Amino acid sequence: MKSHDGYIFMERLLPIAFSSLPEKVWNPLVELSHFFRDLCSTTLNVAHLEQMEINMPIILCKLERIFRSGFFDSMEHLPIHLALEAKLGGHVHYRWMYPFER
């Protein structure tokens, strides 16, 4: 699966595709999906990013309650720092690898 399919699925399709999961599992997954959608949005608001920075650990803690320890490799940890980077560096569209990977 290509990166961009993952991007579409993560941000748009995941809440619908996994809607048959129990609420306890579905909710944090949707929150994760919304986090990435907000992060990749074309307008960023500093107050909103600060709120995202507070929310991300809560989402990850909710995921910790559901998933096994093997699930949490470094890639699951890094989103915790992404809101801060977006606050300092601006839009992710100018700081990610899509233009180079094509």
Partner 1 sequence: MWPVIVTPYNLPPSMCMKEEYLFLTLMIPGRKNPKGKIDVFLQPLINELKMLWDTGVTTYDVSKSQNFQMKAALMWTINDFPAYGMLLGWSTAGRLACPYCMEQTIAKRLENGQKTTFFGCHRQFLAMDHPFRRNKMNFTKNEQEHAPPPKILSGDQVWERVSKIPKVPESELKRSADYGEKHHWSKQNIFWDLPYWKTNLIRHNLDVMHIEKNVFDNVFNTVMDIKEKTKDNVKARKDMSIICRRPELELFDLGNGKFKKPKALCTLSAAQRRAVCEWILQLKLPAVCEALYCYGYASKKSLFTWVLHSKMRGLKISKATRNEESRRLHFHGEIASYCI
Q: Is 64 in the site for partner 1 (CB under 8 A)?
A: yes
Min CB(26)–partner 1 separation in Å = 10
Contact 79, 57 (CB under 8 A): no
Nearer residue to partner 1 within complex by CB, 47 or 78 = 78
Min CB(24)–partner 1 separation in Å = 7
CA 22/CA 39 separation, integer angstroms = 26
Q: Is 38 in the site for partner 1 (CB under 8 A)?
A: no
Q: Map residue 3 onto helix, strand or coil.
A: helix
Among 43, 46, 47, 69, binds partner 1 (CB under 8 A): 69
37: closest CA among 100, 92, 96? Answer: 92
Q: Please, what is the angle between helix 79-89 and helix 46-66, to 10°?
A: 170
Applying CB under 8 A, which residues contact partner 1?
A: 1-10, 12-22, 24-25, 29, 32, 36, 39-40, 54, 56-58, 60-61, 64-82, 84-85, 88-89, 92-102
